[in-house]
Structure 1
Amino acid sequence: MSPKQQRGEATVGQVLDAAMRLYAASGEAGLTVSALTTASGVSTGSVYHHFGSLDGVVNALAVRSLERLLTRLGTALLQETDARSGIGAVVLAYLDHARSSPEEARLLHSVAADREGMARAGAIRDSQEARLEPIAAWIHAHQESGELLAGLSAPLIESLVLGPVVGVVRRWLTMGDIDLEEAARVLPDRIWRSVGRD
């Protein structure tokens, strides 16, 4: 990587770090170009050069947060050799991510991230292929071994595993009336029943 590319990556990281601090302090309303340039020390022109717009900053921040979450989920899953433990590990890793990084979780479950996800789902998925491929291979291997239901596609298994967890985290973030400890005790077994063979 050339020195210019390194400087560009450093600038992008600096802007995204500042954007996350602003988002954590004031939500999306606190993310203005003026606040971002002040917090990051990066010029307005540089922000527009690297991100195109303020929406581009928010989208890049959401993608970076997604990368971190997928890395965490993949690590948890791939450390487990049996399917039931792997499914449980993914559920617990997702809940733990929300608990330990609530602002990243809030961003990932925001209207802005949903809008971006709907508009660019294929491109986002393609950009995460390196993180998703080992997960898909793990699912396939455990379907072949008979531990996971063979008639379900990998995307359907992902949906059955992550759907309830996403719903719980969204409710915890917005309503605050869900106990994540209770969810951690209950969800792994309930979700396993929908995808696993005992």
Structure 2
Amino acid sequence: MGQSRGRETARRLLDGALEVYARTGPAGFTMTAVTEATGVSVGSLYHHFGSFDGLAAALYSRCMDELLGSLIAALHRSRTARTGTRAMVVAYLRWVAEHRAEAHFIHASAYASFLPSHAETIAAAKAPRMAAMLAWLRPHVEAGRVVDLPAPLIEMLVIGPVAETSRRWLSGAPGIDLDQAVRLLPERVWQSVRGTHG
């Protein structure tokens, strides 16, 4: 019973933290705001996450896991390197449109103080999802359908354009239309990673 209640408290803190962030943005994202919104004590927050930064890192990992999960699901519905690459681009942009608070938290966290101190934990949490995406891509790279580059560079070519498009859209930059990006970016991104036999 205690473990179940502990998981429920942790989930309530994460849900409440996202709700506070969605409502107030980074400026209002404080331990006091989260504990008031959830009714969970500061002591309990520290018990589950070690610190407010630990809670923020856990929320970042949860949001990132959901995003990467949607990309992997799109890959697994795809048969070819081209359809898979295009599907990842579309899945990323659609996830951002449908999960604005989570996407904003991910993109704003690139500049947050908690990220460097929890980078190792966050990387470990992301590792299985990244490994799954690379496992899907590997046979296409070996067959020459996807360009043979170090994995981080392939990731930059596929995710970089959609991440920057999303970041600008989330910040309200003029001229960024996600529907237009969904129509135009998938083929452009595919051309950037297409191999000699693609």
Query: So what's the TM-score if we normalise by structure 1?
Result: 0.90
After superposition, the Cα gap between the structure-2 partners of 1:169 and 1:58, relative to the gap in structure 1 and judged at 3 Å, is: same
Within a 5 Å distance, the mapping from 1:13-32 to structure 2 comes to: 13-32=11-30
State the identity as a percent: 43
Q: Is the 8 A contact 2:57 2:115 kept in 1?
A: no
Q: Structure 1 residue 66: deviation in Å?
A: 0.5
Determine which of 167, 190, 193 is the counterpart of 2:191: 193
CA distance in 1, matches of 2:155, 2:129: 14
Q: Structure 1 residue 113: deviation in Å?
A: 5.8
1:6 aligns with 2:28: no
Which structure 1 segments of 5+ residues have no match?
Answer: none
After superposition, the Cα gap between the structure-2 partners of 1:100 and 1:152, relative to the gap in structure 1 and judged at 3 Å, is: same
- Partner residue in 2 for 1:167: 164
CA distance in 1, matches of 2:178, 2:81: 23
Over the aligned positions, Cα root-mean-square deviation in angstroms equals 1.8
The alignment partner of 1:18 has SS state of helix
Within a 5 Å distance, the mapping from 1:1-198 to structure 2 comes to: 3-111=1-109, 115-149=113-147, 151-174=148-171, 175-197=173-195, 198=198
CA distance in 2, matches of 1:81, 1:44: 49
Corresponding letter in the other structure for 1:70: L
Query: So what's the TM-score if we normalise by structure 2?
Result: 0.90
Which gives a bigger RCO, structure 1 or 2 (Cα 8 Å, sep 6+)? Answer: 2
Q: Is the 8 A contact 1:62 1:113 kept in 2?
A: no
After superposing the two structures, state which structure 1 stretch, 118-127 or 92-101, moved more. 118-127
The alignment partner of 2:95 has SS state of helix
The alignment partner of 2:40 has SS state of coil
Greater than 6 Å deviation, 4+ residue runs? none
Q: Structure 1 residue 41: deviation in Å?
A: 1.9
- What is the CA deviation profile of residues 161-197 of structure 1, one whole-angstrom value per residue up to 9, with x for unaligned ones? 0011111111111114301111111111111111113
